[in-house]
Each structure stands twice: as structure tokens, then as C-alpha cells.
Structure 1
Amino acid sequence: MTTAREVAHIPDGVTKEAFLAALARFEAIVGAHNVLTGEERLTPYYKTMMPADDTDYATSAVLQPTSTEQVQAIVKVCNEFGVPVWPTSTGRNFGYGTYAQGTAKGHRHQVVIDFRHMNRILEVDAELGTALLEPGVTYQQLVDYLEANDIPLWVSCPAPSAIASPVGNTLDRGVGYTPYGEHFMMQCGMEVVLANGDVLRTAMGGVEGSNSWQVFKWGFGPYLDGIFTQSNFGIVTKMGLWLMPKPPAYKPFYIRFPDDEDITAIVDMMRPLRMANIIPNAVVFAHALWEAPAVIPRSKYYDGKGAMPKDAIERMKTEEGFGAWNVYAALYGTPEQVEVNWKIVTDAVKRLGKGEIFTEAELGGKEPFNYRAALMRGGMNLQEFGLYRWRGGGGSMWFAPVTVAKGSETLTQTKLATEILNKWGFDYCGEYIVGMRDMHHVIDLLFDKTDEEDTKNAHACMSELIEEFRKRGYAVYRTNNAFMDQVADCYGPVQRRINQTLKRALDPNGIIAPGKSGIGA
């Protein structure tokens, strides 16, 4: 039986007596060893990289279920006692949230459901290239499974991939770097525990005896899977994914461009190749200040206050061999297909009249090419965590506005972001990830969280970035917990009202992740 002495925090709006009674019920469901309380055991769950006081995101308890049935029982108890719960897959969403995504702004002391024990790979169909996973499965675990069973399928993963969850990343509409890199597009079928304890199997999963749950996305009637991404309408306990057949040939390449202004021509050169599927994966345009942290410390070229000066950046580029923009992409298919497409790519670069192109023959084994080449075939790595060593101090926020894949957009966005970041003393550490017709402009706002002034400036900088980009018609597609309301406002009052209507219909007591994505009860 849990005692009052073990409870460090009580959820907002819940009495101590009710919470202790709920904890006793949780212990009966998952076992006492899978109910974590007390400051020492909970602190890791609200370690944040945001410019906020970690105690504002403190957790009341952590539950570690082992089955869908246990999750059903948990939400029923939560409804009975009014206890809010925040589900997390593997709890490693560093730049877009807290360590374990433990709460949202204004909704303190929620209980975390940690899915680390629900980590089964339930099925992989080698012929159809499908997988059915629980949320605690990591990318590394899935890759290891495929390799151990000699299954010739590739996994698409985000950059710091090994410890992340395919289910969690897909639910947050994350992206990867293979031709299957639009992760939600490659998702097929969900099992969702609703707030009342019912279990929904979307699309063909609702048909008893169906064998097509992981192959046909739509089923009959309204398509529901989308409403459970970036939302708090239910708790996903299983998800189907499509995996990419290993191609006979793979050719990663790198193009180095010397000047900041080159970005316009680069995008306009690459977009037709991407749209025609000559280059079938997302093309990355990494700025020099995104490349550098993977291989060198900032102090090698600048160790002062404020943003890194232009002359220091230019010296770094020259001495380290970075381009102002560093382009990564790959070709896939038969050797014959790759040869034909390679000529198309190299001819396009020649017509542009600028840019040096390299392959594994010249750069194999060298960083950062090596980890980029691995990413584009689904290889596991943690190389981009080098970003967090750039300034030190443990502060990081991802700012990721979306725009159209046109070169004219890049100069506007890059200039605006750089001006705002530099104004507050921060570097422009950014890259563009180009899809079929869109671009994700991903910027890591790196700051020293141990410095009070730096932390205050980081908060002001992020708020200004969101607002100034909104004024120009840009908005981010993901954000961390501290800025969810501000980002939700960018999308207008009608969308917010619809989300709230859905929330009230599916979760009338508001127990699942209240406040997530700006969606209240």
C-alpha cells in the first residue's frame, strides 16, 4: 500500500486522499513495483531542456503497464478519481518536450504512463513489409530484430534514432531520411485505448478475423488514425508500420555549397528531382552551424558571449571544410536505375554552375558524411546529440516552421530566424528537410540552462520566433510543452474549437494529457 510519505506531488484538482486511493488501485493493476512515487524516482521524468523551471513539470507518479488490458484498467481508475495521465513511449523527446513529456503548461503533476514494458514486436511480415509494434519498442530494437531474423527490410528513423520509439515518433508526425521518411504516411492501423476504457482498432482492425489491418489504411467510413496524432484523444497501444524493402543498390551523396545565398538555387534545383522521384528520400540542406556540432566544439572558433560572429563562422568553414550549406541525399534501386539517376543529378549540379559533389568513394568513413549516409539507409546513431555539446548547459528547443519547397522562401526564413536568434545571443543552427513539395525548416535553439539570463533570453527568443513567423504565414508543425498554446493559436480559433469539441466527446473528464497540443478539457 502506498503511503503519504512516498508522494512528492499531488495532481492539480485532486485531493490527497483521492490520489492515495487511486495509487492503491494502480498498484493492484500493474503491481507495486510498476508504480513509481517519491522525488528521487520521479525527477528523471521531468528533467527538461526547455527554458522553464523543471518543477513546473513535476510528475506525481509513474505507471509502467505491461498490457493493453492494464491500460484500460488504469484509465477507468483515472476517470473515477479525476487523475490526469500523460502517456509516453520511450521518453526521449528531448528537443520537442521534456525527458518523458510528463505534463503540459498549466496542468501540473500529471501521472505518467511509461510504456517501457510494453515493448513487444508483435509481428513482422517479411513478404508484405509490415510490422505491428507496441509503443515501448525502440528503433534499435526493431533493427536488431530484422537483422537477427535476416529480414531484408529497412527502417526509417529520425536522426538521434536508436533510443527513440517508432510509435512515439509517428504519433508526433516525425520524419526520417529514407524514401519511407514520411512516417505517418507509412503508418497503417492503430489500437487505441479510449478515455472510457474502450479499445478501438482503426480501419481494418475493426473487422473480426481480418488479415489486412497493416496493409489497408482506410477501412470504411471516416479515417480516424489522424486524430490520435499530436492529440490527447486516446492512448495508442499498438501501431502498424510499413517497412522499406532493402534495395539492390544504394548511393548516398553530398554536395557542398560555399555561400549562404546559394540556398535559393539549391532548393530550386533539387525540388524537380524530388517531385519526379529521381531522388526518392527527403533532401537535407544543413547549414555550417548544424554540421559543426557533430564533429567539433564551438570553443574551437569562438568562446565568447552572444552569437558566433560571422568572421569566426567563415574561418570555421574554411578550416573544417564545411559548406555554408551541406546537401545530403541518396539514390536507391537497381544498379542500372541508380546509374541513370546519378547522371541526372550530376547534370543538374553542372547546369547550376556551383557546388562540389562527393560520394562514399571520397568521403566514406568521414564525419558528418558517415552518419548521414547511415541515416539514409535507416542506420542507427546518436551523432546529432553533438548539438547539445555546442554551447553546453543542457538547453535545447526545436523550432520547426513549415513552408513550400521554393528557393525564394529559404532566404526569407533563414534571414528572419538568424536576426531573431542573434538578437537574443543565439546561433542559427538550422537545416531544411525537403519533402515532395514542402520543407521543414528545423532550427535548434541551443542555450545554457544553468545560466538564468540565457534561459530567460531563450524563452523570449522562442516566443518571438513563433510570433514573427506567424505574422508572415509560417507555423511550426511540432513544439515543446512550454509553447503548445502559443503554437495552437497560430492555427486559428476554429481549429482550436474543433479540437476541444473532439476532446469533450472522447474524454469528457479530461484525464488524458490535458493541455497537450493546446487542447484543454
Structure 2
Amino acid sequence: MSKLTALPKNVSEETMNKAIKEFVKILGADNVLIGAEEMVPYSKIMMAVDIKDHMPSLALQPSTKKEVVEIVKVCNKYVIPLWTFSTGKNMGYGTAAPAQKGSVILDLHKMNKIIEVNPDLCYAILEPGVTYQQLFDYIKEKGYKLWLSCPAPSAIASPVGNTMDRGVGYTPYGEHFMMQCGMEIVLADGTSFKTGMGGIENSTSWAVFKWGYGPSLDGIFTQSNYGICTKMGIWLMPEPPAFKPFCITFDKVEDVVEIVESLRPLRIANIIPNAFTIASTLYEAAGVVNRSDYVKGNRSITDEEIEKIKKDTGMGTWNVYAALYGTEEANELNWQIIKATLAKFKNAKFLTEKEMGHDPVFKYRSDLMKGHMTLQEFGLYNWRGGGGSMWFAPVSPAEGKHTLNQQALAKKIMNKYGFDYVAEFIVGWRDMHHIIDLLYDRNDPDQLKKAHDCYAELVHEFAKQGYGVYRTSSGFMDLVAETYGKDIHNVFQKIKRALDPKGILSPGKSGIY
């Protein structure tokens, strides 16, 4: 079939044609997408790799679990790789492109039923194609006093997809996998089961008690290719009586060490109940100012030019965002504790909605911290232009000493290749994610090559200093997997061989084949 844009490894065109006939019987011709034009939505990438190495062969769009089961059986029969995603909107982590060339895309966006939202027990059961916007609108329409926790570019993303990749949000429920309860999984042989309490017929507790009986399995299906999740339970946050978002700006680069040391105890004690963000000047400014007004050419931005942006925008070198959730009295008490804790910073500015209510960056951060829908983070992509973006996300303990060390290392490597350090730290309970957006012009072959090499060097050099990446794009999964060593990877592979002996489900996901 000459219309195929690619063929899977070790699969002939004749075999693919047989499989396609069976896919059409299962889904109908309209839901079996073949050809270059049909593959355009699945081949738009922002990572610094050649799309030819990640081109899918065709795409399937099931609407039911039964159809997923039948598709998996066909793929198992013909040993055809199947790359699964919920909505494919994971922009900085590879979008919809498979790790292995020629994989058949299993696009689950049409499986978009909200099965249940329980306003009393505060949970939802969802299919993978449900978007945050869809769930948000449903809750609002029903008048339920429930809040979501969502990632930054939330509206078009999937709660199931984000949780399966262990994504995070900005409310007290921001550790999304921690707030997941119950999965329905289809395995590579077409069998299916429910985790946790779901094995009990007519279970009353599937979405409220995570553990069930025996080994807890939910975790092995996240960031893996052991099965396909067709339903998931997630916990929702009750709307608090009062919400107080705030921003605190700091002048000096060195301040970040003491920021973390001062606020970490308040975070662990839940005085600050959500993960707090420490955003650099460029991370905040990238969506609201034009780089070309400050930098000429493809070189990296200078410290002097960043100071000019700070002066023009009023932003700090570091901009801390967090929120308080509870009664107005409790929030005010905790606000005073936070201000007293940071009183040592003579140049710090304490800003709330009263001062910042109309500021677009503050509104964006406030919306994130109450689970409202936003796409504003996509404004980062205008900073450099050209559609290139890759998230580099190393993790460290929430200790101040790691901030300057990581910042200096990242900035040195990125500046070496002509890129800007656009980053933020997100401090959880005891961990700290360093979220760096490597922005470049994909239309410039030189920048494309440099971005690829820059990302690879970041992965290697951070790993040497004990910093592992918690998530990456489909073009760099093997590279990141190598940094975690052979011992754990061998275990991953043993599980893969047991559950998917032919290796058909998402080969290459997290470096597992």
C-alpha cells in the first residue's frame, strides 16, 4: 500500500495491508487514517530530531474499549507496533510522534466519556480522551464545588494522559499520580482487568481506595508500555472557602538558595499547601515581551539584556508563586507566617491580587493554582520562534544548594550552543523539579543540530552530578533511560517480556522495547 508514510521494522507491506483490512472491519474506513495528509497532525513535532525517524505508518481512532481490544489482538497477530496516546498534546515532550518509526498510532481522543463525577466523595472516572476543558465545563455545568488540578497548557490536554505520564499541577492536588485511584487496563494479548478494588464485581470502592488486595499495580503502567489505560479514577479537590494567590519577587540570583531553605519547611508543614514555583525572569517574560527587542541574532541573551527586561516589566530575578487555601482567617494567619519568614529579604516585594489583579502573568499563575483552564504557557514558543521546544526536567532534593548549582550548569551548557536559560523551579514536599524549556528554531538546520546536542549534553552532565530527568520526549527516551543504569532497566524489560512478549505496545517508551 504505497500511501503508507512508513513501515514498521520487520513488517512487510503485505502484512500491513492484511492488518489494515482488519482495522477497517473493526473501526470503519473513516477511523483508519492513512497517507501523508492524514499523518500531518501526528507528525508535528517540537523536539530536535528528524521526523522521518519518528513517522507513524497510519493512525487508528477507536471510540470504545471493545475496539481497543480488537485492535490489540490484530497487532499481536501480525506483530505490529502500536503507539498509544490520549490527545497527543504533550508539546514539549514529543506530542504524538512515536519513539519507533512505522508504529501504528492508537489515538484515543474519541474515547471521551465522563463516566462519573461524584460531588460528595470528590472523584471522577474518565476515559482517556476526556480533556481538562471538557471535565472543567462538566463540573461547572453541574454546579459542583470541585476544583481540578491541571498542568500549565491544560485546556487541550487529558487528565488520564497527563497522569499516565506522571505529570503535575499547581493546586494542593498537584501530584497527579498520587491523586489517581483505579485503572482499567488492556494488555497486549487483548485481555483486560481493573486495578485496586476494581476486581470486585460491582465494586463500591474502586475510585476511593487505591490499594485493593495483593500487589499494587497502577504504578507499573505509568510511563511504561505494559498496557493501555481505557478508564481511570482521579480525585478532585473540594472548592475551598477562600483562595489567596500571591507572588513574591526577589532581586538577586543568589537569593534562590535561601528562598528554598526558608519556604521548604512551610511547604512540608502544609502552611504552603501547593507546590510553589520559583520562575526566572525569562520564563515569565517570554510570553509577554519580544526577544528581538532585546537580542539581535541567534546568540544567547546576556545578563545585561535580562536586566533591561526586568526594568521594563517590573519582574524579579526570581518570582515565587504560591497560594493559600482555607478560611480567610486561616489564610491570613499563614500569610503573616510567610511574610515573617521572608522578612530577611529587604528587597522582596509581596504581591497579592490587590496589587496584581490585572497583571496577565499573575492572572495566569492564579488560574493555574485554582485549576482553571489556560493555554498561556504556549506564549513561550513565541520567544525564539520557529516551533522548537524541548522540556528538560531534572529532579533534586528541595535544598537551596542545588538551585545555583543546577542553574549555573544549565546556563553554561545552553549558552555554549547559543540558547537562553528559560526556566523555573517547582518545589514539592521534599523534591524540586527544575523545568527548563530549550527553545529554538526548528526551521534552522544549524539550530536544530545544536538543540539536539545541547539536550543530550544536559542529560549527561546533570546525570553525572546526580540529577535524573523525570520525564522526556519520545526522541530522547533511550538516552535518559541509560542514565538510570542497567539494573532497573533489566527489571523493566523482564516485566515487558512477561506482559508483552512480542513487544507490540509503544516500543521505545521510556527506553523499554
Return the TM-score normalized by structure 1. Answer: 0.97
Equivalent of 1:263, from 233, 256, 262?
Answer: 256
Equivalent residue number for residue 54 of structure 1: 51
- Cα deviations across residues 108-161 of structure 1 (Å, max 9, x unaligned)? 110001011100100000000000000000000000000000010000000011
Counterpart residue number, 2:106: 113
Equivalent positions of 1:433-472 (< 5 A) are 433-472=426-465
* Counterpart contact for 2:260–2:399, Cα < 8 Å: yes
Task: Find the counterpart in structure 1 of residue 80 from structure 2.
Answer: 83
1:198 aligns with 2:191: yes
Asked whether the 8 Å contact 1:265–1:352 carries over to 2, the reply is no
SS at match of 2:41: helix
Q: Which residue of 2 aligns with 1:95?
A: 92
Cα distance in structure 2, aligned partners of 1:304 and 1:77: 52
Q: Which runs of 5+ in 1 are unaligned?
A: none
Alignment partner, residue 497 of structure 1: 490
Q: Deviation string for 1:363-393 (max 9, x for gaps)?
A: 0021210100010000101111111000001
Aligned to 2:407: 414
Which of these residues, 417, 421, 430, is aligned with residue 428 of structure 1? Answer: 421
- The DSSP-based 3-state class of the residue aligned with 2:289 is coil
Counterpart for residue 31 of structure 1: 28
Contact 2:478–2:510 (8 Å) recurs in 1: yes
244, 264, 274: which one pairs with 2:237? 244
* 1:328 aligned residue: 321
Q: Deviation digits for residues 249-270 of structure 1, max 9, x if unmatched?
A: 0000000101111100111111
- SS of residue in 2 equivalent to 1:469: helix
Question: Could you tell me which of 132, 138, 156 is aligned with 1:145?
Answer: 138
- Note the 1:131-210 alignment, pairs <5 A: 131-210=124-203
> 1:5 Cα shift?
4.2
For 2:71, the equivalent position in structure 1 comes to: 74
- Which one is further off, 248-257 or 486-495? 486-495
What residue identity is the alignment partner of 2:326? G
1:294 Cα offset (Å): 1.8
Indicate the residue corresponding to 2:373 in structure 1.
Answer: 380
**1:229 counterpart residue number:** 222
Letter in 2 for 1:226: G
Partner of 2:395 in structure 1? 402
1:254–1:326 contact (8 Å) kept in structure 2:
yes
Cα displacement (A) at 1:218:
0.5
Q: Matched residues, percent identical?
A: 56
* Alpha-carbon distance between aligned partners in 2 of 1:321 and 1:230, rounded to the nearest angstrom: 40
1:289 corresponds in structure 2 to 282
Residue in structure 1 matched with residue 466 of structure 2 by the alignment: 473
Once the two structures are superposed, what CA deviation does each residue of 1:442-488 show, in whole Å capped at 9, x if it has no partner? 00000111111111111110011000011111110001111111111
Tell me how far apart the structure 1 counterparts of residues 301 and 398 of structure 2 sit (CA, whole Å).
Answer: 28
Contact 2:384 2:440 in 1 (8 A): yes
Residues of 1 paired with 2:150 and 2:172: CA distance?
11
Distance between the aligned counterparts of 1:103 and 1:184, measured in 2?
23
- The reply to whether residue 15 of structure 1 matches residue 12 of structure 2 is yes
Whole-Å separation in 1 of the counterparts to 2:466 and 2:316: 29
8 Å CA contact 1:302, 1:312 repeated in 2? yes
- Amino acid of the structure 1 residue aligned with 2:126: L
How far 1:302 moved relative to its partner? 1.3
What is the alpha-carbon distance in structure 1 between the residues aligned to residue 425 and residue 170 of structure 2? 12
SS across alignment from 2:16: helix
Paired residue secondary structure (1:468): helix
Q: How far, CA to CA, are the matches of 1:433 and 1:138 in structure 2?
A: 24
- In the other structure, the counterpart of 1:220 is 213
Alpha-carbon separation, structure 2, partners of 1:196 and 1:174: 28
Tell whether the 8 Å contact from 1:187 to 1:242 is kept in structure 2 after alignment: yes
User: What residue identity is the alignment partner of 2:387?
Assistant: G
Question: Root-mean-square deviation (CA), in Å?
Answer: 0.9
For the 8 Å contact 2:81–2:104, the answer to whether it is kept is yes
Q: How many residues align?
A: 513
SS at match of 1:294: coil
Q: Please give the secondary structure, in 2, of the residue aligned with 1:312.
A: helix
Deviation by residue 1:333-385 (Cα, 9 ceiling, x = unmatched): 11121121111111112144441110000000212101000100001011111
Distance in 1, matches of 2:360 and 2:319, equals 12
Task: Tell me the TM-score normalised to structure 2 length.
Answer: 0.99
Q: Match for 2:46: what amino acid? A: M
Does the alignment pair 1:40 with 2:37? yes
AA paired with 1:265?
E
C-alpha contact (below 8 Å) 2:5/2:55 kept by paired residues: no
